[in-house]
Structure 1
Amino acid sequence: MSTTTPNGRSDVTVIGLGLMGSALARAFLRAGHRTTVWNRSPAKARPLVTEGAVLAGSARDAVAASPLLVVCVRDPDAVREVLEPVAGELAGRALANLTSGSSEQARALAGWTAGHGADYLDGAIMMTPPGIGAPDTLILYGGPRGAFDVHEPVLRALGGATTHLATDPAVPSLYDSALLGLMWSSLTGFLHALALVGTEGVTATEFLPFATGWLRAVGSFMPGIAQQVDAGAYPGEEATLETQLPPARHLVHESELRGVDATLPRFTRDLIERAVDRGHAGDSYARLIEQLRAP
């Protein structure tokens, strides 16, 4: 099913108009797509209607309005709550679910959607609402490649870095969790550093250029680590765990000395100590992946 016109415009429905859902609808409107919107609380749709969106009178009308349904609600259970009563309208359409959830939930929703004759794309938005529609905004999709290819021109309005990862709809949720973990661990490390230097009256703004410059350098280490992890070999050609253990211990001591929570540096120190105790003192930092992997 397609209503794409020669100029590349198409009909799309957005279900769920919280901060993110509203941002998605606005991006479609900016791109010139005829955008139908629906929310269980109709008041949230009013600003979008003034901007050109079409308000559906019911969830059934919202589903029937477009070949592409974009859903962004509270959680995967809410997706089912909204669509179950109108599941008969799904046949022949594509459902792009941009609701945060687990990989297990993505597979379950994919099976449910296929059972009603619709294509299912699970998406992970790696951006906050203000960044929706930007050229570098990354949105990851999993599901049938054919369905993605058909609707990619419309979905690209949400982010210029729109990417299809796999036919398995669970993969985007897995990437989402992994990337968020990377973000939170980095930001927590930054906050720990600010707390540490703050004990000497150094402001966060003063320390910021040193932190951002150092993180760029740290990013340059990642390709080598990735190559070693994929190879399953961890030669300590540039720095060994044995040489990194003393500064890791110093960080714990400095944190404790200054009354700063040392949970994060203790975790790192303990990982290194265990690897050294197991005979891997001459290996690189990449060796620690073996302790983080599931047995």
Structure 2
Amino acid sequence: MSTNTSKTPLTLLGLGAMGAALGRAWLAAGHPLTVWNRTASRAEALVSEGAVLAASAAEAVAANRLVVVCLLDDASVEKTLSEVDLRGKDVVNLVTSTPARARARAAWAERRGARYLDGGIMAVPPMIGVPAAGPYVFYSGSRSLFDEHRSALAAPADARYVGEDAGHAAVHDVALLSAMYGMFAGLTHAYALVRGEDIAPTELAPLLTTWLGAMAGAVTTTAQRLESGDYTTGVVSNLGMQAAGRATLLGTAEEQGVSAELLAPFFRLMEQRLQEGSAEEDLTGLVDLLRR
């Protein structure tokens, strides 16, 4: 462990899997660290590496100006900090939340005399402190807080500031996670289709990897179309053609004894857009349907 005392000291509240990983990364980077956890025994490993264990959340917060919160949920934050003096503190909340809750928590912190940043962690615990794994955290809220503490915040994972609106980190976080779960839904359906065939999942896996990689260009194309408002120029696979093909996909699922519940809602949106829009569009117009 580095002992560079010029590094920003900080307090970490919450030592679950993610909190512990963050704590180890800060200690490894040489940041003096005060920790608190409701179950104190979870701090033993970090204390053995140089962290200071506080007897209470209030004591932990009092120890340092920079306070990082990595508790279970927003209710835990409220319960833990409701009676704690936050005047003059820089509170960084890494609890996964909704945009509205993040904005409310920012206002709550500001009323109590603290600067506030909300964070959305785009990593799992084993990625923390491992730059090659590509971990990063979205931050939104106080720009002055972010600028002052950017080096410390970036020690466990890359720090990406996405705006002064405290809800923007949560929006970015959930947008990326939602896209991930959409991909997982497709993978689930694909593997279910071949499950009863003489096709090994490991044979299908590289084909899926290559195919999904080839389709990744739609991410940028959709963004460009949304900004331009032009959903038809340069379209290769138009809405009319894709809507016509849904019968084959749904029919195959029925033949294979696979529920279509993961695909059917998307196809219903395609049909609705076909009725209201143009068959020459791509799928970008479905975004507008979801906004209603």
Q: Same fold (TM over 0.5)?
A: yes
Which position in structure 2 is the counterpart of 1:146?
144
Which position in structure 2 is the counterpart of 1:70?
68
2:124 pairs with one of 121, 128, 144: 128
Q: Distance in 2 between matches of 1:167 and 1:24?
A: 24
1:174 pairs with one of 163, 166, 171: 171
Which position in structure 2 is the counterpart of 1:105?
101
Gaps spanning 5+ residues in structure 2: where?
none
2:219 pairs with one of 216, 222, 225: 222
Output the amino acid matched with 1:291.
Answer: L
Gaps spanning 5+ residues in structure 1: where?
none
Which position in structure 2 is the counterpart of 1:241?
239
Deviations 1:172-230 (A, max 9, x none): 11111111111111011111101112221322221111111111111122211111111
Output the amino acid matched with 1:99.
Answer: V
Q: Distance in 1 between matches of 2:221 and 2:35?
A: 46
1:24-103 to 2 correspondence within 5 Å? Answer: 24-86=22-84, 88=85, 90-103=86-99
SS in 1 for 2:87: coil
Deviation at 1:278, TM superposition (A): 2.5
Q: Tell whether the 8 Å contact from 2:57 to 2:81 is kept in structure 1 after alignment.
A: yes
Which position in structure 2 is the counterpart of 1:199?
196
Q: Distance in 2 between matches of 1:6 and 1:260?
A: 58
Which position in structure 1 is the counterpart of 2:185?
188
1:159 pairs with one of 157, 165, 168: 157
Deviations 1:79-123 (A, max 9, x none): 11111121x2x2111000001111111111111111121100000
The structure-2 alpha-carbon separation of the partners of 1:123 and 1:279, relative to structure 1 and needing over 3 Å to count, comes to: closer
TM-score normalised by the chain length of structure 2: 0.94
Q: Tell whether the 8 Å contact from 1:121 to 1:143 is kept in structure 2 after alignment.
A: yes
The structure-2 alpha-carbon separation of the partners of 1:6 and 1:16, relative to structure 1 and needing over 3 Å to count, comes to: closer
The structure-2 alpha-carbon separation of the partners of 1:181 and 1:279, relative to structure 1 and needing over 3 Å to count, comes to: closer
Provide the aligned length of Structure 1 versus Structure 2: 287
Root-mean-square deviation (CA, aligned residues, Å) is: 1.6
1:285 aligns with 2:283: yes
Deviations 1:214-264 (A, max 9, x none): 111111222111111111221063121111123222111101111111012
Q: Tell whether the 8 Å contact from 1:249 to 1:269 is kept in structure 2 after alignment.
A: no
Q: Distance in 2 between matches of 1:173 and 1:117?
A: 23
Deviation at 1:67, TM superposition (A): 1.4
Q: Tell whether the 8 Å contact from 1:8 to 1:153 is kept in structure 2 after alignment.
A: no
The structure-2 alpha-carbon separation of the partners of 1:279 and 1:110, relative to structure 1 and needing over 3 Å to count, comes to: closer
Deviation at 1:8, TM superposition (A): 4.9
Q: Distance in 1 between matches of 2:222 and 2:108?
A: 39
Deviation at 1:6, TM superposition (A): 8.7
Deviation at 1:7, TM superposition (A): 7.2
Q: Distance in 1 between matches of 2:139 and 2:205?
A: 34
Q: Tell whether the 8 Å contact from 2:5 to 2:30 is kept in structure 1 after alignment.
A: no
Deviation at 1:130, TM superposition (A): 0.8
Q: Percent identity?
A: 39
Q: Distance in 2 between matches of 1:56 and 1:9?
A: 20
SS in 2 for 1:36: strand
Output the amino acid matched with 1:218.
Answer: M
Output the amino acid matched with 2:184.
Answer: L
Q: Tell whether the 8 Å contact from 1:15 to 1:38 is kept in structure 2 after alignment.
A: yes
Output the amino acid matched with 1:220.
Answer: G
